[in-house]
């Protein structure tokens, strides 16, 4: 059975505003599950999921298990870069979000989809792997690290094109993925991306030698997520 999801492309939006927005949707979905469980009703009657696509202004975010030592800038240098910094409640270490990057926040109920968190992350990775493959690039996973990579097992060549960091409570997810399309990769020079010091980052633009039509790439990601998770778009 398909999983009903509200799709929202909010365009360019401040990180903190978007974090608060998805946290509100997340809390409502978790609360609806609590109420359903208390009354004994079926989980299929709870609220639909939500998929948010967004571009953020320059921002660095650090996961709850990450080290601030992986941010190589102080507050004054951050201001000079026009960037902000947040320690947040997702898994993973530090990453960068900025213009030209597709950030996706799926707020899904994995209990309804009938998968665990490991399979959920695997499917997020698969959606990006398929999208990258449509451009003739062979992307894959890195053993021991989440996200989507090119040449992950080749020393000196491994580079990440999509970072993934999520949070889950009562099988409900939030946070998600950041896919570099036309991203200014120089901003990654200011961090140890995802805690790695020996691996690089890349983008579709860099790999293909030219800027990509952002809206078209976004539609491909949306379609692949729909197919992999068997989503049914709803306006509810």
Catalytic residues: 194
Terminal Cα distance for the chain, rounded: 18
E runs forming strands in the chain: 3-12, 49-55, 59-62, 84-87, 94-97, 101-107, 139-142, 145-150, 159-169, 172-180, 200-201, 231-233
Residue 68's CB is within 10 A of a number of other CB atoms, namely 9
Nearest residue to 140 via CA among 148, 196, 122: 148
Using CB atoms within 10 A of its CB, is residue 138 exposed (0-12), middle (13-18) or buried (19+)? exposed
CA 37 to chain centre: 29
Strand partners, 169: 172
Task: Give the Å distances, CA to CA, from 4 to 115, 129, 224, 232.
Answer: 15, 23, 16, 5
Question: Angle at CA 206, nearest 5°, toward 202 and 207?
Answer: 85
Residues 6+ apart with CB under 8 A from 130: 224, 228
CB atoms within 10 A of CB 96: 25
């Amino acid at each position: 059975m398909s999983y009903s999801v509200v799709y929202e492309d909010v365009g360019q939006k401040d990180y903190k505003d978007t974090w608060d927005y998805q946290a509100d949707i997340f809390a409502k979905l978790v609360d609806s599950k609590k109420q359903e469980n208390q009354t004994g009703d079926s989980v299929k009657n709870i609220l639909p999921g939500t998929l948010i696509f967004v571009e953020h202004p320059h921002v660095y975010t650090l996961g709850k298990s990450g080290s601030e030592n992986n941010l190589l800038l102080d507050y004054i240098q951050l201001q000079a870069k026009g960037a902000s910094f947040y320690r947040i409640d997702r898994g993973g270490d530090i990453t960068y979000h900025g213009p030209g990057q597709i950030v996706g926040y799926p707020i899904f109920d994995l209990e309804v989809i009938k998968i665990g968190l490991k399979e959920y992350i695997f499917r997020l990775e698969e959606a990006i792997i398929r999208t990258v493959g449509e451009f003739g690039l062979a992307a894959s996973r890195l053993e021991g690290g989440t996200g989507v990579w090119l040449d992950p097992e080749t020393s000196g060549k491994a580079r990440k094109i999509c970072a993934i960091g999520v949070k889950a409570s009562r099988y409900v997810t939030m946070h998600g993925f950041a896919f570099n399309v036309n991203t200014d990769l120089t901003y990654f020079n200011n961090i140890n991306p995802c805690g790695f010091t020996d691996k690089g980052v890349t983008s579709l633009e860099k790999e293909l030698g030219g800027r990509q039509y952002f809206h078209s790439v976004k539609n491909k990601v949306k379609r692949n997520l729909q197919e992999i998770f068997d989503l049914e778009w709803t306006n509810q």
